[in-house]
Amino acid sequence: MRTLFPVLLTLLLLGSTGIYAQENKPPSEDYVSRAEYDKLKSEHEAMKEELEGLKTTVRQMANGTVPAPAEGPSTTTKALDGKQVVTEATPQSDLDALHKEVDTLKSEIKGVVPGTTKFLLAGYGTAGFTARSGEDPFFDASFNAIFLWKLTDRLLFEGELEFEFEDGNTTTNLEIAQASYLLNDYMTIGVGRFLNPMDYFVERQHMNWVNKFPDKPLAVYDGLLPESELGAQLRGVIPIGPTKLEYAAFVANAPGLITTPGDFSTLGMLDFDNLANAGGHVAVGGHVGFIPIPELEVGYGIQRSTVGPRDQAVEAILQSVDFNYVRDSTLLKGLINFRAQWVWSHVGHFIYDPDGGQGFGPFEFNNNRNGGYVQLAYRPTGFGNIIKNFEPVVRYDRLNQLHTPVGFDEQRWSFGLDYWLTSSTVIKAAYELDNKNAGARDQDAFMLQVAVGF
């Protein structure tokens, strides 16, 4: 409780001040778009014309030029362009049928007119093939459904379900379940399960229709940093002249510390699926990103917590730096996409298996690991129809963990070629050259993947 109190107090203060600010400033989304304006204008013009026609008819009826409509079957006369036109009367039964049809239509339209909540189902799906040396080749597929509800101009709920094959079974994971509220123009508070804001790749690049390789880089994904956090975050952006400063800060369940591993190589690693928050620790973290020009973003993220049993808790610090440069170059007639990220994981000195009961202790060490990736892609958008859809890409990624129970470092060079069928549908082919030290087996791989974003 002592750990939670200052964090909750801070969030409460920030939340209440944000709401105060909101009351003093109207929402910035209250506007009418050009399309809405044009639609209203055309409706207004049509109504004016209809009114003029009615006025003319009334005047003619007053002058006796046109007889007033009579109830029941009768012959009516309409004035069109100053001429008298005699039409046959409409039988009452037809009118009744027409009224009934109108009522039915009204009812049907009422059934499909959206309420105040707006909904969008988005997501992405993949199908792939992997042939990795030393392993059986396999096909795989996955599907991520993203549910978005805009409840008000300030309130958004997003949920993401992932369906994938794992160990011969279809698994379902709740990747995101977050309610976000716009406190004011520059602050948004989110609660629930959300993508890890301190990991740029996870938050912005991991989606298969966005990621340019069939697989993910070492260390930054499913490696040294958590993919998601369970807690609350405060985020936003500060415009500073032509530049922007993005920020995010969060409190969340702390990761667990693996002290009794099924696999010895995972000893001392962090368990990011600590949904029950075993140990009762709290993680605090954040990310700051600076955008000096629209093409460039540099950022730094950090997460700090204590981990392990309460009476033996040690410190865990995760850090990340990211660099992203995307430019449509007229000189190179194409889109340059350069990304890099490096992360560090530190788990403090801990004595594992102190009484030797697990058969390997006592064993004590600081678990320090690091790794990251550098990636360059080029899409020749300035060339012809077919060529502009290709995108060659190269990546170097690395994970250093020689002085841990894992016992080796790994580095990879990956070469890929993507073909974009649409802006969010891509076919990827890649070859990966794997290199491990300390006698570990290298595992080169050939991969194919089709990814569709929708």
Partner 1 sequence: MKKLTQIIWRCVGFPGTAIVVFLAAFTWLAIGCSTAGNSASTASGKGGAQLWGENCQRCHNTRSPSTYNDAQWEVAMMHMRVRANLTPEEHKAILEFLQSAH
Positions in 131-190 near partner 1 (CB under 8 A): 148-150, 156, 158, 180, 182, 184-188, 190
Which residues, numbered 257-296, are part of the site for partner 1 (CB under 8 A)? 282, 284-286, 288-289, 294-295
Residue 440 token pair = 């570990």
Taking CB under 8 A as the criterion, the residue among 53, 134, 239, 362 binding partner 1 is 239
- Size of interface with partner 1, in residues (CB under 8 A): 79
Q: Which is nearer to partner 1, 188 or 414 (CB)?
A: 188
N- to C-terminal Cα distance for the chain? 43
Q: For the CB of residue 227, give the shortest distance to partner 1 in the complex, in Å.
A: 15
Which residues, numbered 323-362, are part of the site for partner 1 (CB under 8 A)? 324, 326, 328, 335
Q: For the CB of residue 31, give the shortest distance to partner 1 in the complex, in Å.
A: 7
Q: Which is nearer to partner 1, 358 or 424 (CB)?
A: 424
CA dihedral 242, 245, 246, 248 (to 10 degrees): -160
Q: Which is nearer to partner 1, 219 or 291 (CB)?
A: 291
Q: DSSP secondary structure string, 394-429?
A: EEEEEEE-TTSTT---EEEEEEEEEEEEETTEEEEE
Which residues, numbered 292-321, are part of the site for partner 1 (CB under 8 A)? 294-295, 297, 302, 304, 315, 317
B/e letters for 207-225, b = 16+ CB within 10 Å, e = fewer, are bbbebbbbbbbbbbbebbb
Q: Which is nearer to partner 1, 369 or 379 (CB)?
A: 379
Taking CB under 8 A as the criterion, the residue among 83, 423, 439, 441 binding partner 1 is 423
Residue 383 within binding range of partner 1, rule CB under 8 A: no
Q: Which is nearer to partner 1, 187 or 393 (CB)?
A: 187
Residue 387 within binding range of partner 1, rule CB under 8 A: no
Q: For the CB of residue 257, give the shortest distance to partner 1 in the complex, in Å.
A: 17
Q: Which is nearer to partner 1, 82 or 241 (CB)?
A: 241
Q: Which is nearer to partner 1, 418 or 434 (CB)?
A: 418
Q: How far apart are CA 148 and CA 126, in angstroms?
A: 21
Residue 80 within binding range of partner 1, rule CB under 8 A: no
HSE-up (13 A, CA, CB side) for residue 230: 12
Interface mask toward partner 1 for 99-138; x: CB under 8 A: ---------------x---xxx-x----------------
Residues 6+ apart with CB under 8 A from 307: 254, 255, 256, 257, 270, 279, 281, 313, 314, 315, 316, 347
Interface mask toward partner 1 for 11-50; x: CB under 8 A: --xx--xx-xxx-xx--xx-x-xxx---------------
Residue 246 token pair = 């993005």
Q: How far apart are CA 237 and CA 403, in angstroms?
A: 39
Q: How far apart are CA 367 and CA 258, in angstroms?
A: 11
Q: How far apart are CA 227 and CA 284, in angstroms?
A: 15
Q: How far apart are CA 208 and CA 161, in angstroms?
A: 14
Closest CA to 29 of 185, 244, 237, 235: 185
Residue 14 token pair = 């920030």
Q: For the CB of residue 210, give the shortest distance to partner 1 in the complex, in Å.
A: 4
Q: For the CB of residue 155, give the shortest distance to partner 1 in the complex, in Å.
A: 9
